[in-house]
């Protein structure tokens, strides 16, 4: 039987969905071990996310590790 190497199945990066007020505004790719602050910084660099948060105060940032970032303005 063929064998496999489990280390090759581990992901280096994950795709994070970015929402603003619960509506999908973009997607970013970050390393698996990225912190919440790194994810938030990269999300705010996206043009579509910046368009909906520009000039507004972000009241809350909800992060589901490895899946989702929701910015509440």
Structure confidence at residue 1 as a pLDDT band (50, 70, 90)? confident
The confidence score (pLDDT) of residue 58 equals 93
| pTM for the model | 0.83
Statement: residue 44 has pLDDT above 90: yes
Residue 4: Cβ-neighbour burial (10 angstroms; 0-12, 13-18, 19+): exposed
Closest alpha carbon to 23 in 3, 2, 52: 52
The confidence score (pLDDT) of residue 20 equals 96
The confidence score (pLDDT) of residue 10 equals 83
Report all structural domains of the chain as residue ranges with CATH numbers, in order of start: 11-72 (3.10.20.590)
Whether 70 and 61 have beta carbons less than 8 Å apart is answered as yes
Residues in the chain: 73
CA atoms within 13 A on the CB side of 43: 29
Strand order in the sheet with 13-20: 23-31, 13-20, 68-72, 60-64
């Amino acid at each position: 039987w063929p064998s496999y190497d489990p280390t090759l199945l581990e992901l280096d990066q994950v795709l994070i969905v970015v929402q603003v007020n619960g509506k999908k505004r973009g997607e970013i790719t970050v390393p698996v071990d990225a912190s919440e602050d790194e994810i938030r910084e990269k999300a705010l660099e996206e043009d579509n996310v910046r368009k909906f948060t520009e000039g507004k105060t972000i009241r809350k940032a909800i992060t589901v590790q490895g899946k989702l970032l929701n910015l509440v303005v």
